[in-house]
Structure 1
Amino acid sequence: MTLIEADITDLTHDGRGVAHISGKAVFVAGALAGERVRLRDVRKHRHYDEAAVEEVLRVSPDRVAPRCKHFGVCGGCALQHLDPAAQIAAKQRLLLENFERIGKVQPSAILPALTDSPWGYRRKARLSAKFVEKKGRMLVGFRETNGRYVADIERCEVLLPAVGERIAAITAMLESLEGKREIPQIEIAAGDNLVALVFRHLQPLSDADTQALTRFGQANDLAIFLQPGGIDSVAPLWPAGAQLNFELPAYDVTLDFRPLDFIQVNGGMNRRMIDHALALLDPQPSDRVLDLFCGLGNFTLPLARRAAQVVGVEGEAGLVQRARDNATKNGIANATFHSADLAADQRATAWAKADYELVLLDPPRSGADAVLDYLPRKSTRRVVYVSCHPASLARDAGILVDKHGFKLTSAGVMDMFPHTAHVESIALFER
């Protein structure tokens, strides 16, 4: 094994340190900017190499002891060794670099980072499960950092405690099942009223196994769902008719959702993000608002409490139906919803032809470039863009500025995923 000393100059988008050796970039797992490390080669590529830290010779003042004993093996977190404030600063730098390099724009002002508790925050997650014949035991956890194996973990510090503190108990319960080899994954979905575990199973489970799952749910106050097939096959095992929801008290809104529906992973940050987005968008009682990629109404229904009319558009038909149901449940009559593929040209639709004073965008990682080909219209004075991928936001910022004549007024990061390399951000564009 060859050991090499190197200085770490930066962090990659996935949280690894960057060194340059003989003119070639080397991405170093476990290293932080400003450190000098002794590293070992892991894998060579044509344009870059990958390595891992063997020893830290000069320690960054931002290095902290990871709280989780599985850090470095489990791939669920990438930055537990970096102080949370430094994590935010690194994500803010990455956002601004993307604006400059990709979008050729810069915000007039940088918004203060939006943060919440960095531990026990994840209310949505997918854990892998595998019975390892050679070990004669079950593994439950995120994938390892190399992605090939299931990490052998006992607890998780970023999952909400109702699940994170029970990983070992879930593992032991699965190990006792006759059908343990037929359960490859567990989805975690938590509302304000219930915490649910969804067990995917490849073959029908025996009565004894379903009874064991039910007893586990009852003993631990966890709702148990089974998924024998696709998304539509998910059904509650216990309690019968279990329904998840979360509340947005500031807007007198309660949102029902199904366990596999998309909701924001971090419940506390979601509330703060909605407040933040509405403050930037500043809807007036006479405004018409277009909410694109609206999901089950996370922004749409709060907006409807402030504006004259809100139109939500979403590509997944099931989420659109849930959004309509949520509007009805909350007594909101000034929000309408449309199911449409926003990666396709929708300019001929009535909703796309209408005029809106305000637009909110919350697209997936791929961004919103397709819809920005024809929206927003001239009547739109303000756009708020919520992003989960800084590169696509930067590209789309360039479109809004260069093609549509907007100014990038302000932008900043939101720490939706502490201790990971995910960068969630928000930007305000004005005429």
Structure 2
Amino acid sequence: MPLSRVQPRDYEALLQAKVATTRQLFSELALPEPEVFPSPPTGFRMRAEFRMWHDGDALDYVMFRADDPKTPVPIREFPIACETIQRLMPALRTALSADPVLRRKLFQVEFLSTLAGDTLVTLIYHRRLDEEWEAVAEKLRSQLQVKLPRLSLIGRSRRQKIVLGQDWVEEVLPVDGREWRYRQYEQAFTQPNARVNISMIDWACQRAEQLDGDLLELYCGNGNFTLPLSRRFDQVVATELAKASVRAAQDNILANAVENVQVIRLAAEEVTQAMRGEREFRRLAKLPQPLAQYDLRSVFVDPPRAGLDAQTLAMVAGFDNILYISCNPETLAANLAQLTATHAVQRFALFDQFPYTDHMECGVLLARR
């Protein structure tokens, strides 16, 4: 996204235009009026990454335009990043530029921050990191901790990872009347817009308020939705394929003293096979009872941009209630065209997770007709 598109004064008008465009995608489905959840117009991104451009001893954060991928665009200000990242960027750039050990063959810098005050910086190199680098990097971390005491730093190169501090940050989100603690691991997926993420989780919890029985969740990630939703159901069986996300979800279950959630490492296709009884998975033996004995009346899905594949879509259609969070309105519209043959859309929501872009996050609640 070109930073020239970031126009905070025009945010409301840009949002309404995006809402209208998104609604047009669903015009043939006769969905209810959407609830619209805006973003803060600036300071909303908790993650950012930049290529580092070398010009002699000087360094610049750079990005590249889609129509000109070979010409670097220096980034001196990044108003869409959270305040912590905005304050950290110039101080870090100055320190990296001044030190030849930290500067040499530095390729990329990644930032991860939280509303709770944790910050993690990852420096990625095209060379092997040695003890000298580690000593200088630890000195840099100590300097930055004067203003950001909860800062960790990671150095990466090919098949190498050096952690100074910890390789995760802790987020605390006020959702559904209580605070939820989330461990977010470096380079694992997290929702980039924390404020809109709170709105998304709150919305899902409110929609689940009238549901009962047990819940099946696909693509649970680090338990972002799973943990608050657990208060609405007797038992939750949550599935996720990425190892780092499963690890984080299990950590977060313990940290929040949640006792009715089981996280199983399965792909969505494998869950479909298990639900149909087509295959047995040893990983399901970890459940306190066989999968078939759960009272699974509702399903929650938050799939990747490709949406639900045909087999998963057919399996999901077998549930009484479907809560669907989508990061791609086009694939959601295609999935809904099939799901609405058996289910009615009761609630519809739009979440502006990525202001100043064409991207819109959607939420839908469906109930069997």
- Mapping of residues 390-429 of structure 1, within 5 Å: 390-402=329-341, 405-429=342-366
Query: Partners in 2 of 1:84 and 1:217 — Cα distance?
Result: 36
The alpha-carbon deviation at position 99 of structure 1 amounts to 2.0
Deviations 1:72-129 (A, max 9, x none): 3xxxxx45387111222222122222224xxx4231x222211232211111122111
The alpha-carbon deviation at position 200 of structure 1 amounts to 1.1
Q: 1:301·1:332 contact (CA, 8 Å) conserved in 2?
A: yes
Equivalent position of 1:245 in the other structure: 170
- Mapping of residues 219-368 of structure 1, within 5 Å: 219-220=143-144, 221=148, 222-229=151-158, 233-237=160-164, 239=165, 241=166, 243-249=168-174, 250-282=177-209, 284=211, 286-342=212-268, 346-349=272-275, 355-368=295-308
Bigger Cα Rg: 1
Q: 1:283·1:303 contact (CA, 8 Å) conserved in 2?
A: no
Quick one: higher RCO (CA 8 Å, sep 6+), 1 or 2?
A: 2
Equivalent position of 2:47 in the other structure: 124
Q: 2:167·2:186 contact (CA, 8 Å) conserved in 1?
A: no
* One-letter code aligned to 2:327: C
Equivalent position of 2:79 in the other structure: 157
**Structure 1 residue aligned with 2:324, among 361, 379, 385?**
385
SS in structure 2 of the partner of residue 165 of structure 1: helix
The alpha-carbon deviation at position 334 of structure 1 amounts to 0.7
Query: Partners in 2 of 1:178 and 1:79 — Cα distance?
Result: 34
- Mapping of residues 176-191 of structure 1, within 5 Å: 176-179=98-101, 180-191=103-114
Deviations 1:47-69 (A, max 9, x none): xxxxxxxxxxxxxxxxxxxxxxx
Q: How well do the aligned residues superpose, as a CA RMSD in angstroms?
A: 2.6
TM-score by length of 2: 0.84
Query: Partners in 2 of 1:225 and 1:425 — Cα distance?
Result: 34
Runs (5+) with no aligned partner, structure 1: 1-13, 15-69, 73-77
SS in structure 2 of the partner of residue 305 of structure 1: helix
Runs (5+) with no aligned partner, structure 2: 278-283, 285-290
* One-letter code aligned to 1:224: L
Query: Partners in 1 of 2:105 and 2:124 — Cα distance?
Result: 8
TM-score by length of 1: 0.73
Deviations 1:255-290 (A, max 9, x none): 112121111101111112100111123255x42111
Equivalent position of 2:34 in the other structure: 111
Query: Partners in 1 of 2:362 and 2:228 — Cα distance?
Result: 20
- Residues 1:200 and 2:124 aligned together: yes
Q: 2:313·2:335 contact (CA, 8 Å) conserved in 1?
A: no
Equivalent position of 1:170 in the other structure: 92
Equivalent position of 2:19 in the other structure: 92
Identity %: 22
Q: 2:343·2:367 contact (CA, 8 Å) conserved in 1?
A: yes
SS in structure 1 of the partner of residue 64 of structure 2: coil
Q: CA 1:313/1:306 → structure 2, altered by over 3 Å: closer, same or farther?
A: same
Query: Partners in 2 of 1:199 and 1:267 — Cα distance?
Result: 23
